[in-house]
Chain A
Amino acid sequence: MELEPSHYPAQRAAGVARACISYRRGECTDIRDIPGTGHKYHLEFTLKDTVQEVSFNCTAEVLYHLGSQHSAPEVHFTVEGELGKNPDDADNKFYSRIKSLKEPLVAQNIPDSFGIVPPEMEPIRHLAFSACDYIIWQNSTENTWYNLAQIQDVRQVKRNDDYLEFDYTVLLHDFVSQEIIPWQMQVLWHPQHGVKVTQNSRQPK
């Protein structure tokens, strides 16, 4: 059945695909053909990297599993062009700056009520977006449409190894239910190795 691209089911599935692609940057779950156990969407869309100002054509298949136990939608995709990201100057500067902080970084309300993000918090925000992509992908259903609304709280956790670690409490906005959902996530990052969400949990309202 052909879907209207402007209609919301296609939009939501595209959001899930985008989140998965964005988080994994080249990997995703293995495709397993399980006919009759879910709703499958075939999508063609364009991903725009707003930082590097490049666009990529993508195709993706999103399979939402049905059943009482929620499991993450399966996403299988192809991307035209090289999506992989080499650490750039900004990444390295951020890494050095945080590594050399005497006191662990602590911040709240990014952006603030007026949409303002202090420039030194921009990388913290980018990191949150990446980490949230994982959470969004893992928790999406055909009846959700998640966005990162605000970083409520972020605390650095000092480590002895090369990684930076941050404990975030973010507010996710689900457009379908209109709920604001607090979510805790433990995030590791390294300029070369990328982002990893090691732990996450939905918090009470």
Chain B
Amino acid sequence: MVQLKCLEPLSLICAGGCLDFWVSPLHPERPVDVRVPFTSLQAVKVFLEQNNIPYFILIKDLQRLVDDEKAQMVHQRSRALSVETFNYATYHTLNEIYDFMDLLVAERPNLVSKIEIGYSTEGLPLNVLKFSTGGPNRPAIWIDTGIHSREWVTQATGVWFAKKIISDYGKDESLTAILDKMDIFLEIITNPDGFVFTHTKNRMWRKTRSINAGSSCRGVDPNRNWDAGFGGAGSSKNPCSETYHGPHANSEPEVKAIVDFVKQHGNIKAFISIHSYSQLLLYPYGYTKTPVPDQKELDSIAKAAVTALSSLYGTSYRYGSIITTIYQASGGTIDWTYNQGIKYSFTFELRDTGRYGFMLPANQIIPTAQETWKALMVIMEHARDHPY
């Protein structure tokens, strides 16, 4: 007890008992742990030395440790542990989204699986989520987001769609009826090389990151690289251009992977490719003024879809064929898919109309995804109810 008593003056060193004993003096044989504020450090050291009390420093800078740990926790928070805790209202990196896909499959293995359809130029896997309730090779719906990497709201809505599908299956009558007849394929990061580049080097990057022979400019516009009017007006032969079509159709592995998948599957009935911005719902063609044979039907689906979309937040969309509504564009995705016989081929251009453009604030991700989902449901329901 005598030995413990000699520590008493320690607590008088700073007024108001600022010494914080983590392990209090309880027994002479046991060590005492104390947190000392910086201002009292000198006095405490002097006291201990004058009284021949041996000590050593466990933690030199506690504040630093706390700060580091906090930073770790914040980082940890963005690496969600479940589909439920994932933050859908923020923009994520490629790794976070790829981790999310694995979480999804792990949580609902009977509904979701992940397929690798190929690799990007820089060797990143091209991952597609398959939502299926059975059957060999059912008629299917394809949705892709992020083909143009700077259109960040699209990858973010793709993530939200994935969650929506697993949440609504078994709860929403219409979606359940769709999945009981059809499969849904969802490629969230269709251009992973470009996506990484928008995070690390250039937020405005649109194209792939392939190397162009004889040019210092990289990348091909993946939405000009398809075999439909390839190389025509509405695309560029200059590798430095944002709409460079590439050396030949399907030169981009990101495009070829989808082409091979679609051909091999052979039973895709609806194909929806999602872009931003300008609030449009488009159907083919972009490469020619000739209207598609199914123009009337596609136009009426588009009309119904944008009406449903705007019912949620009043967001107004225009709709029509690519070439009349936006511009002439050759070698585009849905021109090719339509010519393959996929009648319900549509392209969305999501929010906004230029106020923020590609840099859409994250608080608009969920509203955008919610309203777009309503339009998607119209298209998917139509495909379900009009088999061909």
Contact = CB atoms under 8 A, between A and B. Distances in A.
Interface of A: 4, 6-8, 11, 111-116, 147-150, 171, 173, 175-180, 205
A60 B318 CA distance: 21
B271 interface: no
A7 B354 CA distance: 17
B175 interface: no
A27 to B, nearest CB: 24
A155 to B, nearest CB: 21
Nearest to A111: B359
25 contacts: A4-B320, A4-B324, A6-B319, A6-B320, A8-B324, A8-B325, A8-B326, A8-B327, A111-B361, A113-B91, A114-B362, A115-B362, A147-B354, A150-B204, A171-B204, A173-B354, A173-B358, A175-B278, A177-B241, A177-B242, A177-B243, A178-B206, A178-B242, A179-B241, A179-B242
Interface in B236-266: 240-243
9 nearest A-B pairs in the assembled complex, by CB-CB distance = A115-B361, A147-B354, A178-B242, A115-B359, A6-B318, A113-B203, A111-B359, A180-B204, A7-B324
A12 to B, nearest CB: 9
Nearest to A113: B203
**Chain A binding site: helix, strand, loop or mixed by DSSP?**
loop
Contacts, number: 63
A112 B359 contact: yes
Contacts of B221: 178
B357 interface: yes
Nearest to B319: A6
A150 B320 CA distance: 29
B356 interface: yes
A124 to B, nearest CB: 15
A170 B33 CA distance: 58
Contact of B320 (A7, A149, A179): A7
A113 B203 CA distance: 6
Given A4-B320, A6-B320, 15 more contacts: A6-B325, A7-B325, A8-B324, A11-B318, A113-B359, A114-B361, A114-B362, A115-B360, A115-B362, A116-B361, A147-B354, A149-B204, A173-B354, A175-B326, A180-B204
